């Protein structure tokens, strides 16, 4: 099926971040039409009916989230844009912010109009200096053109957008950690409920949406719900709770591939197609061994493991909101696909992963703080050839126990730290056992730094 990118359609145009160019391509006409012709509730209804699900990782239905705001609240109501993109090998938001910031800003304007917010905070990862400067220039252009500020185009609608640079920690991307950081505090996630829609920034109702989600809002409102639903994967008829995986999606391809890049495709492409057709295949003529389907916290896919009653393998799973769950991974996550080649040590890869999560745990909850540290210590022991037979079962047990599902921790970081551990051990157990037996001698190479355009 031929597919024309929409979210990335403008990124290679000269001066793509400039207002003039965006205007020339019909930019802001959708927002201006909504101001004149639609009530805020109609915008919310359209986004809800489109089936758009959040692109930050959790896939929560966007329009539904907006309806959780208290009715007839006197305000203020805030929109927080989550641009603290820190999941390893994820850089789809960065491309949008650097190359087409006005598409994102138009989505913010539409969302704020829909939720009756007059103030949006754009919380952007500290390391994204170019994106920050590009966005600030775009925001300034909008103020100068009367698209932001008081009484926009005589509609009576006021809107301010403030950029706020992050604090250089992964946990600032957790929505309540982000809010705490925005308020000037340490980014310690809050216990939910209350969810931010009820009590968020400065204890006021707040919607937190990801950058790509807001770019999708622009496109949904511009092109309509029939267009959006013509792309992607409809709900699974066998699962009445499935909301489907509609629309275009930005996938980032990283790790041991020939051409790491960000591509836009309809939801539901398989890992195999993504890597072989779009990522130029596995590098150095090697084969893939494992893949993270959507960021480290989703766990590992074993590309050689056969799917039940099929000739296909886990490499053939579709990357929609349901696909990775079918092969015991956590979910689609950020759709950042990271490939590990067949000459690389999974023990070493897992060591990298455990280092990351142990470092990034905010330390509030004992199971997460201690559990991520224990897992790192054990995997380090395995890597140094001092592993013990019982270590693998201990690792799986710790990774299962620190998850958010048993209700032991405040946020999802601990769950995300556990999935790569349990999937690596369960799916590549023989390699871990060989590492214990070999006492440090391994036929595999050390894990090289992961190659990706973002990290
Ligand atoms: P979540 O499932 O707890 O929440 C998703 C969203 O729905 C939140 O905005 C939440 O406030 C809202 N929500 C859920 N239930 C609600 C209710 N009953 N009432 C009102 N609002 C409700 O997931 P969470 O913890 O926000 O996100 C986890 C995901 O984040 C992971 O799947 C991971 O992939 C992703 N992630 C993304 C990163 C990135 O760089 N983009 C970094 C780290 C994690
Ligand atoms: Fe902090 Fe981990 Fe608890 Fe999340 S689960 S609040 S990162 S200690």
DSSP-based three-state secondary structure for 351? helix
Residue 455: pLDDT band with limits 50, 70, 90: very low
Helix (H) or strand (E) holding 250: strand 248-255
Which residues, other chains included, contact 383 with Cβ-Cβ below 8 Å and sequence gap of 6+?
A: 347, 348, 351, 435
Measured between alpha carbons, how far is 434 from 33 in angstroms, rounded to an integer?
A: 64
DSSP symbols for 342-360: TTB-HHHHHHHHHHHHHHH
In ligand 1, the atom with minimum distance to the C-alpha of 90 is 40
Nearest to 415 by CA among 189, 126, 93: 189
CB atoms within 10 A of CB 402: 28
The predicted-structure confidence for 57-86, as pLDDT tens digits, reads as follows 999 999 999 999 999 899 999 999 999 999
Residue 11 falls within a domain, yes or no? no
* Residue 409 Cα: closest atom of ligand 2: 5
Q: Is the pLDDT of residue 111 over 90?
A: yes
State in Å: Cα 299 to ligand 2 middle.
18
Q: Quick one: pLDDT at residue 247?
A: 98
Ligand 2 test: best mutation among 410, 412, 416, most atoms within 8 Å of CB? 410
Distance CA 176, CA 189 (A): 5
Predicted model pTM: 0.96
Mean pLDDT, to the nearest integer, of 136-148? 98
Does ligand 2 lie within 6 Å of residue 219's CB atom? no
Residue whose C-alpha is closest to residue 454's, from 279, 252, 257: 252
Instruction: Kindly state whether residue 180 falls inside one of the protein's structural domains.
Output: yes
For ligand 1, the distance from its centroid to the CA atom of residue 59, given in whole angstroms, is: 8
The reply to whether ligand 2 has any atom less than 6 angstroms from the CB of 187 is no
Tokens of 445: 């190479």
In CATH, what number is assigned to the domain containing residue 371? 1.20.1440.230
Chain centroid, CA 73 distance in Å: 30
Q: Is the CB of residue 80 below 6 angstroms from any atom belonging to ligand 2?
A: no
Q: Is the ipTM of this complex over 0.90?
A: yes
- Alpha-carbon distance of 299 to 173, in angstroms, equals 19
Are both 152 and 54 inside the same structural domain?
yes
| CATH value at residue 325 | 3.10.20.600
How do strand 288-292 and strand 206-210 relate by DSSP bridges? unpaired
Shared domain check, 260 and 211: no
| Residue 326, domain extent | 245-341
Q: 76 preceded by cis ω (within 30°)?
A: yes
Point out which residues pair with 232 in neighbouring strands. 246
Same domain membership, residue 157 and residue 268: no
| CATH (domain of 107) | 3.40.50.11540
Instruction: Please check whether residue 305 is in contact with residue 102, taking contact to mean a CB–CB distance below 8 angstroms.
Output: no
Note the pLDDT tens digit of each residue in 233-250. 999 998 888 999 999 999
Total structural domains in the chain?
A: 3
Q: Is 88 in the pocket of ligand 1 (CB under 6 A)?
A: no
300 and 366 in a single domain? The answer is no
The predicted-structure confidence for 377-406, as pLDDT tens digits, reads as follows 999 999 999 999 999 999 999 999 987 666
Please report whether residue 71 resides in a domain.
yes
Position 453 confidence tier, pLDDT thresholds 50, 70, 90? very low
- Write down the pLDDT at residue 442: 75
With a cut of 80, say whether residue 367 has pLDDT above it. yes
User: What is d(CA 199, CA 28) in angstroms, rounded to the nearest whole number?
Assistant: 31
Give the pLDDT confidence score for residue 408 in this predicted structure: 85
Q: Is residue 14 part of a domain?
A: no
333 and 355 co-located in one domain:
no
Cα(320)–Cα(238) distance, integer angstroms? 16
pLDDT tier, 438 (very low <50, low <70, confident <90, very high otherwise): confident
Statement to judge: residues 132 and 203 lie in one domain:
yes
**pLDDT of amino acid 451:** 40
- Which residue shows structure tokens 């959780």? 68
pLDDT at 427 over 80: yes
The CA-based angle 89-399-287, given to 5 degrees, is 45
**Ligand nearest to C-alpha 404:** 2
Q: Is residue 9 part of a domain?
A: no
- pLDDT for residue 93 is more than 90: yes
Kindly tell me if the per-residue pLDDT of 336 is higher than 50: yes
> What is the pLDDT averaged over residues 86-107?
97
Q: Which two tokens stand for residue 61?
A: 């239905």
Are residues 176 and 125 located together in one domain of the fold?
yes
Pocket residue to mutate for ligand 1, from 55, 65, 88, 292, most atoms within 8 A of Cβ: 65
**Residue 152 and residue 297 in one domain:** no
Model confidence pLDDT, tens digit, residues 259-317: 999 999 999 999 999 999 999 999 999 999 999 999 999 999 999 999 998 999 999 99
pLDDT at 447: 72
Mean pLDDT computed over every residue of the chain: 95
Q: Is 186 in the pocket of ligand 2 (CB under 6 A)?
A: no
């Amino acid at each position: 099926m031929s597919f024309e990118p929409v979210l990335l359609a403008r990124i290679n145009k000269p001066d793509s971040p400039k207002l003039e160019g965006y205007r020339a391509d019909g930019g802001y006409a959708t927002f201006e039409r909504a101001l004149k012709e639609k009530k805020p509730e109609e915008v919310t209804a359209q986004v809800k009916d489109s089936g758009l699900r959040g692109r930050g990782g959790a896939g929560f239905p966007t329009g539904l989230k907006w309806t959780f705001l208290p009715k007839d609240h006197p305000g203020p109501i805030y929109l927080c844009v989550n641009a603290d993109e820190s999941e390893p090998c994820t850089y789809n938001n960065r491309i949008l912010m650097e190359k087409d910031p006005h598409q994102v800003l138009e989505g913010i304007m539409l969302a704020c109009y829909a939720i009756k917010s007059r103030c949006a905070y754009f919380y952007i990862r500290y390391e994204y200096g170019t994106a920050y400067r590009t966005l600030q220039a775009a925001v300034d252009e909008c103020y100068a053109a009367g698209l932001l500020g008081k009484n926009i185009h005589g509609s009576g609608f006021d809107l301010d957008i403030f950029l706020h640079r992050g604090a250089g920690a992964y946990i600032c991307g957790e929505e309540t950690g982000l809010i705490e950081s925005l308020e000037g505090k340490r980014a310690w996630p809050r216990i939910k409920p209350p969810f931010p829609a009820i009590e968020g920034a400065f204890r006021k109702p707040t919607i937190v949406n990801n950058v790509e989600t807001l770019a999708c809002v622009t496109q949904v409102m511009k092109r309509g719900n029939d267009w959006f639903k013509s792309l992607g994967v409809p709900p699974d008829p066998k699962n009445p709770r499935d909301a489907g995986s509609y629309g275009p999606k930005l996938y980032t391809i990283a790790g041991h591939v020939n051409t790491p890049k960000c591509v836009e495709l309809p939801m539901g492409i398989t890992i195999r197609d993504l890597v072989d057709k779009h990522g130029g295949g596995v590098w150095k003529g090697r084969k893939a061994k494992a893949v993270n389907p959507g960021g480290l916290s989703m766990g590992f896919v074993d590309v050689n493991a056969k799917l039940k009653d099929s000739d296909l393998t886990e490499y053939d799973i579709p990357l929609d909101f349901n696909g990775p769950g079918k092969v015991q991974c956590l979910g689609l996550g950020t759709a950042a696909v990271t490939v590990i080649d067949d000459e690389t040590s999974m023990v070493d890869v897992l060591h990298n992963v455990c280092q990351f999560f142990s470092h990034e745990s905010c330390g509030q909850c004992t199971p997460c703080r201690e559990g991520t540290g224990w897992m790192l210590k054990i995997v380090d022991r395995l890597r140094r050839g001092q592993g013990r037979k019982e270590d693998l079962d201990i690792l799986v047990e710790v990774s299962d126990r620190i998850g958010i599902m048993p209700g032991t921790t405040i946020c999802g970081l601990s769950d995300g730290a556990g999935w790569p551990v349990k999937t690596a051990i369960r799916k590549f157990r023989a390699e871990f056992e060989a590492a214990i037996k070999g006492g440090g001698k391994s036929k595999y190479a050390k894990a090289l730094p992961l190659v990706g355009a973002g990290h």
